[in-house]
Amino acid sequence: MMIHWPPKFEPSRAPVSVGNHLDLAASREVAWAWLVRAELWPTWYPNAHEVRIAAGGGPDLALGTRFRWRTFGVSLESRVEEFVPEARIAWRARGFGVEAYHAWLLEKTADGCHVLTEETQYGLLARLQQLFLPNRMHYYHQIWLERLAAQAAGGPPAETSG
């Protein structure tokens, strides 16, 4: 399985590109349930803040869902551009000094699932971060994967009403 990059965001074209992956000892279905419940990210991923689904959406991300959040100190407006349940999700994000495309792939394995996340970015802020803090995004994306693994190991998130 491969990421379906919009041409502009192909890793070979983008000035900033980061990829991380991890094998999880949890089912793909449970890992997916945590990944698409974006408003819960701040409860388990320390680099996600103030995640809010646009009016009428949620509680889970879906194709076309718009959400606002803060990460790496930047407020972003994001929109889900690709969505294949329990297999792939990607969103485009815009904020001051950055435009990004963040994709996730989940594949079943004999012992759970393998998760790949890749992000490419444009913009002055993205370039400055790459110059002065070159491993920051890779570091936090690895934490995101490790925390996802921990959450998924405990079962799916609780159902919500409404």
Q: Does residue 6 belong to any structural domain of this protein?
A: no
Encoded amino acid at 126, one letter:
A
Q: How many structural domains is the chain composed of? A: 1
Q: Does residue 162 belong to any structural domain of this protein?
A: no
Helix/strand/coil for 152 = helix
Q: Does residue 3 belong to any structural domain of this protein?
A: no
Residue 131: what pLDDT? 81
Residue 152: what pLDDT? 98
Please answer whether residues 120 and 127 qualify as being in contact, where contact means their C-beta atoms are separated by less than 8 angstroms.
no
Residue 137 sits in a domain whose CATH number is 3.30.530.20
Q: How far is residue 18's CA from residue 20's CA, in Å, rounded to a whole number? A: 7
Please answer whether residues 25 and 153 qualify as being in contact, where contact means their C-beta atoms are separated by less than 8 angstroms.
yes
Alpha helix segments (H runs only) across 16-100: 28-36, 41-44
Tens-level pLDDT at each residue, the chain (162 residues): 789 999 999 999 999 999 999 999 999 999 999 999 999 999 999 999 999 998 767 899 999 999 999 999 899 999 999 999 999 999 999 999 899 999 999 999 999 999 999 999 999 988 888 788 789 999 999 999 999 999 999 999 997 644
Q: Does residue 5 belong to any structural domain of this protein?
A: no
Q: How far is residue 71's CA from residue 93's CA, in Å, rounded to a whole number? A: 11
Phi, psi torsion values for 64, nearest 5 degrees: 85, -10
E-strand ranges in 25-128 read 49-53, 66-71, 74-84, 88-95, 98-109, 112-122
Q: Does residue 20 belong to any structural domain of this protein?
A: yes
Q: Does residue 74 belong to any structural domain of this protein?
A: yes
Q: Does residue 90 belong to any structural domain of this protein?
A: yes
Q: How far is residue 14's CA from residue 89's CA, in Å, rounded to a whole number? A: 19
Q: How far is residue 116's CA from residue 92's CA, in Å, rounded to a whole number? A: 17
Range of the domain at 65: 13-153
The answer for 152, left when phi > 0, alpha when psi is -120 to 50, beta otherwise, is: alpha
Q: Which long-range contacts (CB under 8 A, 24 or more apart) does 76-81 make?
A: 76/100, 78/102, 81/6
